Amino acid sequence: MNIELPELALVVLIGATGSGKSTFARTHFLPTEVISSDFCRGLVSDDDNDQTVTNEAFDVLHFIAGKRLGRGRLTVIDATNVKAQDRQPLIALAREYHVLPVAIVLNVPERVCHERNQMRADRDFGPHVVRNHTRALRKSLRNLKREGFRRVFTLDSVEEITAVSITRTPLWNNRQHEHGPFDIIGDIHGCADELEQLLQQLGYEWTEALGQEVSTYNRLYRHPDGRKAVFLGDLVDRGPRSLDVVQLVQQMVLAGHALCVPGNHDIKLLGKLNGRNVRVNHGLENTLAEIEALPEAIREPFCRKIADFLHSLVSHYVLDDSKLVVAHAGLKEKLQGRASGRVRDFALYGETTGETDEFGLPIRYNWAQEYRGQAIVVYGHTPTPEAEWLNHTINVDTGCVFGGKLTALRYPERELVSVAAARTYAEPVRPLHILSSIANGQSVQDDMLDITDVTGKRIIDTRLLPRITIEAANSAAALEVMSRFAVNPKWLIYLPPTMSPAETSKEPNLLEHPAQAFAYYRDNGVTQVICEEKHMGSRAIVLVGRDETAVQQRFGLMESESGIIYTRTGRRFFDNSVVEAELLTYLQRALTDANFWAEFNTDWVCLDCELMPWSEK
């Protein structure tokens, strides 16, 4: 017998004492993956068999298991677990961390268990203990799935236990081995014309799809360079060609040229196709009208084909070594790569506050504002006038069906490609207002800093240097200085390094001498040094733009400024704002006269300067 285990699961071993659970665990799992109740008893009492500390031992067991599951590690529970009340906390733990609970039952004959216990000096209890365990186990065998175990494997003999093998299988959402490049496309809602234009603009080519028995759309798109499209769901409803969109996407997915996650509209259509009683609104009536217009001879097999495809879609995908996550409505970090109904619901619908707005629509909880995950999350679901980055996430539903545009994010390039809607196919309940502020969503969010982002011990991976560790005390000291004296953090794109002084001179009456500096470079393999005369100035960082609008857009400021001058420690250089403004205006004009903006194709610049004379500071 081969047991297929999900790569991330809570595996609960179930069996009477003496059934061989610990031996089974040692054979098939890493020592670090197994948490034994006996071991936990030893941790709290120095005696693996002390039954008086059972409650404390299981507190430890559940705590360790929770920490492992939180880190996304497969965890095996080695305990008798023969009673439902003992298993329920473990099932609850699996649900809390959105992993699959799996039961492996060692249903060994009572006689064998008793004989094994007699051979162990630390098992000095009578046969009634094994008898009670065995009875409790067999009484609950038929109820294990009802209790919440997603998979149950029962081994009914010693021979079966000995012969079993275990294979670990990736979760359906695990596509970490796929590295792209990808073209991630937002909500389509039946806008097939715009989708075809967008695919063409992205470089996709189409050929006639062959062998389509029940199909009304026969274009198969693929990219000549091997790029893969990723569709974020809501393929159907509201627009004029929902069935064409579904078929286009389905054919690309089946041919290996695309991935697709479901949207809430797709799941609602699936429910209708499966005979469920769903409310026909929000554009579903348009899709059903298209279905009714199909020739009667192909209508039923066509619907079955579409239903099978929609049913096969996975809630979200984790791609490119966990660097990229795609889901219809987005996904919090703790839900990524997990499997549960809660994960699927969040991926489909997002999260709401329980309140409604003035249009009667649910107010959505903006999870992206608090997102601090490493993976880029690309999503749709809620139409927005423009696709904007916010905390490593981006919403690419730009309301094509509402007269906006259909948008794709090219990954890993992070380029946005859009096609304008041919017309407004449906009026949104909540109007798509173009934001009046020129500051983007990330800039607005950054007006309120989160202290947890900068406190405590921090480990920073840099692009050029090795990993840097900043201790909590140093973080606190820096935060104290920056919060009291520094300029708006949005300005602080650059804090310049300062050169350390040369070794103290060995010459009498001299603190420094070039000989020590040359020796340093020589010892480090530098054969040529360029020297220049030092002028007594003050280090100054100048940020200046072509105009105030350019500065406001780049730095996300809520007020208008032409730029800033600050010190190497982040403090404003001039106390006199008039002097600063005059110098910025002078620099701005000089850059304009030098044709700097056009030559470097920019409308802002950061200058690392030495401002002279030193006394001006």
Q: Are residues 248 and 148 in the same domain?
A: no
Give how far Cα 126 sits from Cα of 104, 106, 114, 130, Å.
26, 20, 8, 8
pLDDT at 182: 98
In a domain, 440, yes or no: no
Specify if 502 maps to a domain.
no
Q: Tell whether 10 and 144 lie within a shared domain.
A: yes
Distance CA 309, CA 303 (A): 10
For residues 134 and 110, the answer to whether their CB atoms sit within 8 Å is yes
Tokens of 148: 């919440």
- β-bridge partners, 319: 175, 324
Helices (H) and strands (E) in the chain, counts: 20, 27
Give me the CATH number covering residue 108.
3.40.50.300
Residue 142 covered by a domain: yes
In a domain, 135, yes or no: yes
Contacts of residue 53, Cβ cutoff 8 Å, sequence gap at least 6: 41, 44, 45
pLDDT tens digit string along 232-290? 999 999 999 999 999 999 999 999 999 999 999 999 999 999 999 999 999 999 999 99
Show the beta-strand stretches assigned E in 68-181. Answer: 75-78, 100-106, 151-155, 165-169, 174-175
Out of 124, 149, 169, pick the residue that ends a domain: 169
Question: What pLDDT does residue 436 have?
Answer: 38
- What gap in Å lies between CA 244 and CA 120, rounded to an integer? 69
| Residue 504 belongs to some domain of the structure | no
| Residue 421 and residue 276 in one domain | yes
| Together in a domain, 133 and 99 | yes
Rounded distance, CA 195 to CA 95, Å?
39
Last residue of a domain, one of 146, 169, 192: 169
Find the domain containing 195 and state its range.
174-434
| Burial class (CB within 10 angstroms; exposed 0-12, middle 13-18, buried 19+) of 48 | middle
Q: What is the pLDDT of residue 438?
A: 43
Cα-Cα-Cα-Cα dihedral of 556, 561, 565, 567, to 10°?
A: -50
Q: Is residue 445 part of a domain?
A: no
**The three-state (H, E, C) secondary structure of 203-254, written as one string:** CCEEEECCCCCCCCCCEEEECCCCCEEEECCCCCCCCCCHHHHHHHHHHHHH
Residues 163 and 179 in one domain: no
Q: Would you say 190 and 286 are in contact if contact means Cβ atoms under 8 Å apart?
A: yes
| SS3 of residue 117 by DSSP | helix
3-state secondary structure of 273: helix
Distance CA 597, CA 325 (A): 37
Q: Output the domain CATH number for residue 428.
A: 3.60.21.10
How much is the pLDDT for 441?
61
Question: Is residue 279 located within the same domain as residue 378?
Answer: yes
Q: Does residue 407 sit in the same domain as residue 467?
A: no
Domain presence at residue 315: yes
Find, among 473, 480, 447, the residue nearest to 458 by Cα.
473
C-alpha to C-alpha distance for 205 and 4, rounded to whole angstroms: 40
User: Please, what is the average pLDDT of the chain?
Assistant: 90
Q: What is the maximal distance between C-alpha atoms in the chain?
A: 104
* Residues 306 and 264 placed together within one structural domain of the fold: yes
End position of a domain, from candidates 443, 468, 485: 485
Buried b (16+ CB within 10 A) or exposed e, 269-308: bbebbeeeeeeeeebbebbbebbeeeeeeeeeebbebbbe
Taking the C-alpha atoms of residue 313 and residue 325, their distance in angstroms, rounded to an integer, is: 15
Position 435 scores a pLDDT of 41
Q: What whole-number distance in Å separates Cα of residue 389 and Cα of residue 556?
A: 13
Tell me whether residue 441 is in a domain. no
Question: How far is 119 from 417, CA to CA, in rounded Å?
Answer: 72
Same domain, 480 and 556: no
CB-based contacts of 469, cutoff 8 Å, min separation 6: 457, 458, 459, 460
Do residue 106 and residue 201 come from a single domain? no
Residues in the chain where the model's pLDDT stays below 50: 434-439
CB 566 within 8 A of CB 491: yes
Q: Are residues 474 and 388 in the same domain?
A: no
Give me the residues paired with residue 265 across strands. Answer: none
Say yes or no: 117 and 258 in one domain.
no
Yes or no: say if 419 and 198 are a contact pair by the CB < 8 Å rule.
yes
Number of domains, the chain = 4
CA atoms within 13 A on the CB side of 163: 7
